[in-house]
Structures are given as structure tokens and as C-alpha cells.
Structure 1
Amino acid sequence: MGCGNSKVLPGASNKGYVSVVQSLVAFSKVDDDNEPKKRMEKQRHPWFSTSINNFQTASNGQQQTLSDGRHQDKVPTYKDKFDPRVTARYDIKALIGRGSFSRVVRVEHRATRQPFAIKMMEVEAPEGREVCTSELVVLQRVSHSNVIQLIEVFQFPQRVYMVLELATGGELLDRVVSRGHFTERDATQALRMVLAGVEYLHNLGITHRDLKPENLLYYHPGADSRLLVTDFGLATFGGAGSEVLGPDRSSDGGADRTWSLRTTCGTPEYMAPEVLQRKPYSCAVDMWALGVITYIVLSGSMPFEDDSRMVLYRAIVRGKYSFYGDPWPSVSNLAKDFIQRLLPLDPATRLTASQAIRHPWVVTMAASSSMRNLHRSISQNLRQRTSQSSSRCPSSTASSGDSSSVGPGRLTSLEKKQQQQQVRASGLTQPQRAIHHPA
């Protein structure tokens, strides 16, 4: 990990786009909990430097400030870009996020005055079209309390406007730090919501492929807020994409092992070894990412981390991590067992989302050690990482236009060179053609 982190995105494809972007199409989803959220490619996060996909929400009337200190006071500029048929229904309030191909604004529905987020995506470029298509195809199919909800969409040849729930409760790690007191019980309460959302996605055949703390947002600031899985720019629907190789059921017949994928994508520190080795993979890559997330939530540090991508990838493909240092002596063996069962190198032996929800640590909420306060150690570790990242990358911003996940279609020439060096130095295999053998 270092100053030049990037998000690997799948290569652009025109397949299915005609069915996604036509002349104006608007539809609404009925939802009992019909107040919104903000989700999109975000600015660089202070805790984990791989994420320049993070964006911040602001309360009404507050001015937006990106991580590089620039104030977001140019709402009229972006308001002018919005199609009149969109602004006729929604009042544009504030710019709350930006990405390589998108802008996110906080809006109010003119009739109901309910707050929402609108993600405006530029779809003329193949890369923007691919990201939009992937995200929209998934969001149109999902409806779950722990998954960000698409309210309606306006589609035009040059731009697509997604109206989304507005999550105002902050990111998972922000909530951990702000609590002042954090235990394993608190961790399992959060993870149960994430697992519920991931289980739902996997049962639909959807692989998220970019699970990380920055993409887990609380719906509102209250202690009883639900936690939402967001950012579906890299998600794929099993059997719907050109990269899907076909059925590849595991021995337990689980629905979340049905489809084998092959595109190298995700955020480096959270990518499963089979992705880095360019092997066909399944929804099990999301479970690996959840193992990394659990490790971070309980300790404030990362299981796999290095300024050198080569060293980082080597550690991941070897599965080299430890439970060393604070607060691990205070963490229960059940919690460590949960992490270990999510981080085996063999994806077939990883817990599925359904199995993870039934793990004793999650079920019992670590009753034997749930009252141990881990907050001090977690916060210290996070602050230490922030300080180290700042000293290494004093001017890190999203101005380069990178995003924090990786994909062959969008690597810069430098990143491609680094990836080739990575493969040679780490002993990773070259891309290989997967052959499906019917069960």
C-alpha cells in the first residue's frame, strides 16, 4: 500500500448497455423506509489509504470539504449539468462526492421534501458506461434493509441519474472510533448486519467484489441504525456478465458458490489470493474481504499491508498474517477462529455468508469476553496508520482521477508495470483459461 493506490475495475464492455441506457426511463421502488443515502466513488479516507472512493455527507446547510481541503461550494455549476426533467422532481442541495465518472449530490424531493442522494454518471466513455451498467443492473434487482436501495433512475444517452437512499450515519470505522467504547459484542452486532446483506446478495448470485469498511455505511447517526452495503460499481450478477464462466458448485451446493468469475478487480488489501493469482473465483472472495474487515474492526490494523504492492500481494497469496500486538491478547479465541475461517487460502474451505452468520462468535456475540473495551487500542492503531500514511503521502488526493479498486481495463501503464513485477516476484500465475467441468 502506498501513495499510488488504485482501484482495479473490469474492462469496458458494450454488452447489455442498450437495454440499460435508452431515452428517458424513470421508475420507482416502493420501500417502507423511504428516506435516502449517499453512495459513490469517494475521496481518500484517512484510515485506509487504498480508498479514494470515499465521500462525505454533510448535514443540511453545511459546506462540503474534500480531504485535500477544497470546499465544495460550486453546487450551481453541477446543478446546471442536471437535466431539467430531473430538477423538476428534485431540488439540488449540495455536492457530497465525486468520482472519475460521477458526481453525487444531496437532494430533496420537491413534493415530499424527503432527502435523497442522486448519483450522476457520465456514460459516454466506455469505462463510465461499464461502471454504470454493472451498478445499475445489480441495484435494480436488490431490496434488502442492509443493502443500499435504488429509489428511481433517469437514463439518457450521455448521463444516468440514480436516486439512492441517503446514508447519513457515517462509515463503519468512523462509528467505531466515535463510540468511545467498543467491544466484541459491538463488532458482532455490526457484522451480523453486513453478513445479512452479503448473504442476500450471494443468494441472488451477486458478488460484490469490493467489500471494505469504506463501503459499509450507517443509515442514520442513531445507535439503532442499520448498516448498509454500498458501492456496487464492481459487483457482478452471476451468469449475466461476459466474465462469468459458468456453474461451479461447491460440495455443499451453496448458492453463493454457483458462478466462477475471472476478472481481476477489487481493492488490493482486500483482494482474495485466487483473484491475485488470476484463477477463476466465486462469491468466496467477498468472504475473504469480510475476514479482513473483521480483523480491522477488532484491532484497528490490517492483516495484510505494505507500501510495496509486491510484498503485499506476496503476503496475501501466502496467507501470512498474525494476531500480534494490542488488542489481540484481549480478543477472544472465538473471534480469532471466525477470522481464520474466513481467511484460508482455499476458497472452498471458507465460511459462506450463511455459515458465518451461524458461527458461535456471531451467535453468542462473544459472551465470555464481550465487555472488554477494545476502543483504546483500536483508536491508537488507526491514528498510527493515519500518521504513517500522512508522512508517506502528504499530498494524497483523488485529483489524479484514480479510484481505489483495480481492474485490467483501467490500470495506468505504471500500474501495469507494477502488476507485472508483482506477478514475477511473487510467483503468481499468469492469467489462465478456466475450463468448467460439469458437476
Structure 2
Amino acid sequence: MGCGNSKVLPGATKKGYVSVVQSLVAFSKAHDDDDEPKKRKEKQRGPWLSTSIKNLQTASNSQQPMLRDGRHQDKVAMYKDKFDPRVTARYDIKALIGRGSFSRVVRVEHRATRQPFAIKMMEVEAPEGREVCASELVVLQRVSHSNVIQLIEVFQFPQRVYMVLELATGGELLDRVVSRGHFTERDASQALLMVLAGVEYLHNLGITHRDLKPENLLYYHPGANSRLLVTDFGLATFGGTGTEVSGPDRSDGRDHTGADRTWSLRTTCGTPEYMAPEVLLRKPYSCAVDMWALGVIAYIVLSGSMPFEDDSRTRLYGSIVRGKYSFHGDPWPSVSNLAKDFIQRLLLLDPATRLTANQAIRHPWVVTMAAGSSMRNLHRSISQNLRQRTSRSSSRCPSSTASSGDSNSVGLGRLTSLEKNQEQQQGRASGLTQPQRAIQHPARGPSN
């Protein structure tokens, strides 16, 4: 299977996005003459691989001993040389976290406070780099929530933009599930409540994430009381949330900033196993795609297995558009009907009938913290299913994505623009070009 790296971004047609792009372009043009020799030098180096924000956040204290090795010290020195001195005067670079087509990300320490952060350095000389940077910035500059990764500050220079971000060191959601040794439905509901709080906030701002998955849900610190953060806004965009707007309601569909919140989204993007049916069917879609992804996440957190999974992309997509999944196998017999109901109400083929973030956070299973559920320890079954899945994935794609910052842990990256044409051909072969047939005959729900 392809392990795509590129992000598919919507056109720059909206006010907030355009303003950021114009700012970057104007700033760059103002310094073009002075930096021409540097530009020629950078062009000779070739492009960098693209990096997702999620992978920027996962540096942990375990990386510290690596810095004692001379080779790693040399690398740190090399990355420091690439950073503008006005940035390094404020932040001490400690280690590389990831790199991408237009970016490199390092773990840093604020020189005055000694507080750790992540800095994402993005190349904005090329139009593509400016688009990626602007798309991310326009979202990150609007968000401030305890369950959403926080942009601390931004340094803008002619060829590069430096985004200083919170550094989440507590690991990914599933890593925490496995490492705990004891995991119940109550633990699952507490984790999902934090994710729902972040997603509800984003949707109320008019932001659709479009790449929710366990790898993008990170704990801020290793402690038991850590908050869980929604990260990686490389595919996030404004739009698709017409009924949930920030500020006073307006009859023209705009919020108090004047930004349109009612347009439908159309770009095919995301991580295959988490993509909603309407995205695969190339229909206009809304923020309901995030709720579908949350249904997939809830299924995984409670079982360690995927509701939709197949070696063949065509068969995988066929299962998704038919809503074909089940609650068979361990530990599902021990999982409460209320938890299954929560998942079923998210994995509905018709996006209009799916729970919204506001409704999901008020579902009885979430509100009661699974109080009426079994207190059975699901850890063994979840860990076993995760290990089996990892083993299968390794055998399928042994060299999957060691150098990729944007793909997930099983070698199934985001759908790239190059793959779109291939997937369209596969879709025609599998009948996915007949969306009305899939919608008219939805699955009645999984068998219990």
C-alpha cells in the first residue's frame, strides 16, 4: 500500500487563509533582493519532506541520552545553523523531532524559563510551502483550549516561518492505554470526553480537523492526571460547520469576524481507515467527518482492533461506504451496550444523523463516565489485538514509513493528490462511483 506524505489542501479562497498568505508573500517580497544569494543556496539543497504537527509533539525525555552521542550533537549543531539567530537567541535547540517537504521540527527549551517547546520551521519561499504554512497558521492562531495543542508564538522571516508549539511529552493515546496495565470502559470514556471537548471547541469555531486518529491524540505529560490534546492541524480547515459558528448568529451565514462558515468541504484527504463514507464517495461534506473518525477511535480504544481494515484499499473503502463492521471477538462481549450505542451513533452512513460533538459529549455513556458498565480490565484483550495488528502491518509494509513524518504507525498515510487519480480508478472498479446506491441501502448497524 502507498505510504503517502503530501497533504491535500483546499484552495485559498477564504478570507482568513488569504490574509495569512498575503502577509507571508508581502513579507517575503520585501526582502527578496537582500536574500537572493541565500535563495540560490537553498534551492541547491533540494526540498524537505513534509511533517505533521502530531509528530512534532512526541519528543520525550528518553531522547536526552541520545544527545550525548557525538553524532547527535553534530546534528543539533547543524539544525541550529539553519535557524534564524533571532529564534535561537530565545530558544535553545535540543533535538530533531521530524522533517518534511517544507519543514523541520525540533524540540527546544526557552532560554529564560527552561520550559520545553516544539518549533516547526517552515520554508515559505515556494508557493506550495506558503500554502501549507498559511493553512496551518490560520487555524492555529485561532485556537486556545486545554484539549487542543497551543500555538505559543510565531516568527516570520522572508524565507521561513517558525511556529512555537506546546510540547506534548505524555505519548499517544494508545501508548497510554497499553502502558497502564489496567484499562476499563470508565478510563476509555474519560479519555474520549477530553477529545470530545477539544473537537466541540473546534467545531464551534468553524474548524474541521479532517485527520482525527489515535496518533494525533497526545497526552501533555506522563502523569496520570494529564490532559489529552488534539494535535496535527495540517489538514484542518475552516468550513463544513454551517450550524456551529462562533459569535452571534447571522442570517448571512457568517460569524462576527465576517468569515463564511457555511461552505461545504470537498477535498479528498485524511487517513484511509478513518475517512468517512462521504469523503470516499467524493461528496461535499461537513464537520461530521470528524465525528465518524471519533467513532472509529472509540472502537479502537475499547478493543484494540479496527472497525474497518483490509490489505486492499478498494475492499477497505467498500466496507466503509457500506458501514460494514461488527462487535465480534474479544473483548466485545464484556463491553456495555451503552458503549456500543455510542459507537453506532457515530458510525452512521448518513452524516446528518450522526451525533454532533455537542450531542456526543452528552451521550449517557460519556456523561456517566461508564458508571453502569462492567469494571472488567480490558487491557489484556486490547494489548493483544494491538500487537496482532502491528505484526500484520509490519509483514505487509516492513519498510513502511521510517522517514515519514506524516504517515501513521501502520504505513497507511494520508491520501495524496497523486493517489486521488488512482483511487478514482479503483473506486470505479469497486462501484464506489455510485454513491446513491450506498446511501439508499445503509447498514442497519453491526451485529452484536
Work out whether the TM-score is over 0.5: yes
Match of 1:270 in 2: 274
Matches within 5 A, 1:113-124: 113-124=114-125
Conserved? CA contact 1:296–1:302, under 8 Å: yes
Matched position secondary structure for 1:302: coil
- Structure 2 vs 1, CA of residues 68 and 359 (structure 1 numbering), >3 Å: closer, same or farther? farther
RMSD of aligned Cα (Å): 8.4
Whether the 8 Å CA contact 1:29–1:152 is kept in 2: the answer is no
Shift of 1:263: 1.2
By how many angstroms is 1:29 displaced?
27
The question of whether the paired residues in 1 share the 8 Å contact of 2:147 and 2:197 is answered with yes
How far, CA to CA, are the matches of 2:165 and 2:325 in structure 1?
38
- Residues 38, 104 of structure 1: 8 Å contact kept: no
2-structure distance, mates of 1:222, 1:42: 44
Q: State the shift of 1:312 in Å.
A: 0.8
Secondary structure of the corresponding residue to residue 143 of structure 1: coil
Range 356-365 or range 238-247, more displaced: 238-247
Runs of 5+ unmatched residues, structure 2: 252-257, 444-448
Farther off after superposition, 147-156 or 389-398:
389-398
Residues 242, 262 of structure 2: 8 Å contact kept = no
CA contact 1:103–1:121 (8 Å) conserved in 2: yes
Q: Summarize deviations over 1:264-310 as a string: whole Å, max 9, x none.
A: 11111111001111111111000000000000101111111111111
Do the aligned partners of residues 218 and 194 (structure 1) sit closer, same or farther apart at CA in structure 2, a change above 3 Å counting?
Answer: same
**What secondary structure, in the 3-state scheme, does the structure 2 residue paired with 1:66 have?**
helix
Please state how far the C-alpha of 1:20 moved relative to its aligned partner.
2.3
Change (3 A) 1:32 1:359: farther
Larger mean Cα displacement after TM superposition, 185-194 or 71-80: 71-80
Deviation at 1:10, TM superposition (A): 4.2
Q: 2: distance between equivalents of 1:28 and 1:315?
A: 47
**CA–CA separation in structure 2 for the residues paired with 1:290 and 1:274:** 15
Change (3 A) 1:361 1:409: closer
Tell me: CA distance 1:109–1:47, structure 2 relative to 1, closer, same or farther (3 Å). closer
Partners of 2:298 and 2:68 lie apart in 1 by 26
The offset of 1:108, in angstroms, is 1.3
Does structure 2 retain, via aligned residues, the 8 Å contact 1:239–1:246?
no
The answer for the alignment partner of 1:203 in structure 2 is 204
Q: Which moved more, 1:238-247 or 1:91-100?
A: 238-247
Q: Which moved more, 1:352-361 or 1:366-375?
A: 366-375
> C-alpha deviations, 1:149-192, integer Å up to 9, x for none?
11100112321100111111001000001000100000000000
- Displacement of 1:37 in angstroms is 31
CA contact (8 A) 2:103 2:121 kept: yes
Deviations 1:91-112 (A, max 9, x none): 1111122233221111111122
> Kindly tell me: are residues 404 and 383 of structure 1, through their superposed partners in 2, closer, same or farther at Cα, counting changes over 3 Å?
closer
Residue range with higher mean Cα deviation, 363-372 or 189-198 = 363-372
Q: Contact between 1:120 and 1:161, CA under 8 Å: does it hold in 2?
A: yes
Deviates more, 1:59-68 or 1:288-297: 59-68
In the alignment, which residue of structure 2 is the partner of 1:258? Answer: 262
C-alpha change, 1:23 and 1:35, in structure 2 (3 Å) is closer
Deviates more, 1:226-235 or 1:11-20: 11-20
> How many Å separate the matches in 2 of 1:244 and 1:326?
41
How far off is 1:430 after superposition? 8.5
Q: CA deviation at 1:86?
A: 0.7
Aligned partners of 1:213 and 1:45: how far apart in 2?
32
Contact 2:304 2:385 in 1 (8 A): yes
Structure 1 residue 70, shift from structure 2 partner: 11
Distance across 2 between alignment mates of 1:358 and 1:33: 57
Give the deviation of 1:126 after TM superposition.
3.2
Distance 1:294 1:242, change over 3 A: closer
> Given that residues 206 and 236 in structure 1 are in contact (C-alpha distance below 8 angstroms), is that contact kept between their aligned partners in structure 2?
yes
CA deviations over 1:318-366 (Å, ceiling 9, x no partner): 1111111111111110000000000100000000001001101111122
- Paired position in structure 2 for 1:2: 2
Contact 1:49 1:389 in 2 (8 A): no
In structure 1, the partner of 2:378 is: 374
CA distance in 2, matches of 1:225, 1:351: 27
- How far off its partner does 1:429 sit? 3.2
Task: From the superposition, tell whether residues 266 and 69 of structure 1 become closer, same or farther in structure 2 (CA, over 3 Å).
Answer: farther
Q: Do 1:29 and 1:151's aligned partners in 2 also have CA atoms closer than 8 Å?
A: no
Question: Compared with structure 1, are the counterparts of its residues 81 and 200 closer, same or farther at alpha carbon in structure 2 (3 Å cutoff)?
Answer: same
Cα 1:352/1:90, change in 2 over 3 Å: same
- Which of 119-128 and 283-292 deviates more? 119-128
Determine the C-alpha separation between the residues in 1 that align with 2:267 and 2:261: 16
Pick which of 145-154 and 54-63 moved more.
Answer: 54-63
Cα 1:370–1:153, aligned 2, differ >3 Å: closer, same or farther?
Answer: farther
Structure number with higher relative contact order (C-alpha < 8 Å, ≥ 6 residues apart): 1
Q: Which moved more, 1:55-64 or 1:349-358?
A: 55-64
CA 1:435/1:292 → structure 2, altered by over 3 Å: closer, same or farther?
Answer: closer
**TM-score, length-scaled by structure 1:** 0.81
C-alpha spacing 1:224/1:160, structure 2 compared with 1 (3 Å):
same
**How big is each residue's C-alpha offset from its partner over 1:27-77, in whole Å with a ceiling of 9 and x where there is no partner?**
999999999999999999999999997467444583598999997961111
Greater shift in the superposed pair: 198-207 or 111-120? 111-120
Change (3 A) 1:25 1:12: closer
Number of residue pairs matched? 436
Change in 2 beyond 3 A, CA 1:28/1:87: farther
Q: Deviations over 1:82-138 (max 9, x none)?
A: 011111111111112223322111111112221111111122333332221111101
Instruction: Provide closer, same or farther for how the CA distance between residues 46 and 312 of structure 1 changes in structure 2, counting only shifts above 3 A.
Output: farther
Q: Which moved more, 1:178-187 or 1:128-137?
A: 128-137
Is the Cα contact below 8 Å between 2:265 and 2:285 reproduced in 1?
A: yes
Deviations 1:342-397 (A, max 9, x none): 01000000000010011011111222224111100100010001111111111112
Asked if the contact 2:99–2:405 (Cα under 8 Å) also holds between the matched residues in 1, the reply is: no
1:246/1:150 CA distance change after superposition, 3 Å: closer
- In the alignment, what sits opposite 1:437? 441
CA distance 1:78–1:292, change in 2 (3 Å): same
Change (3 A) 1:400 1:292: closer
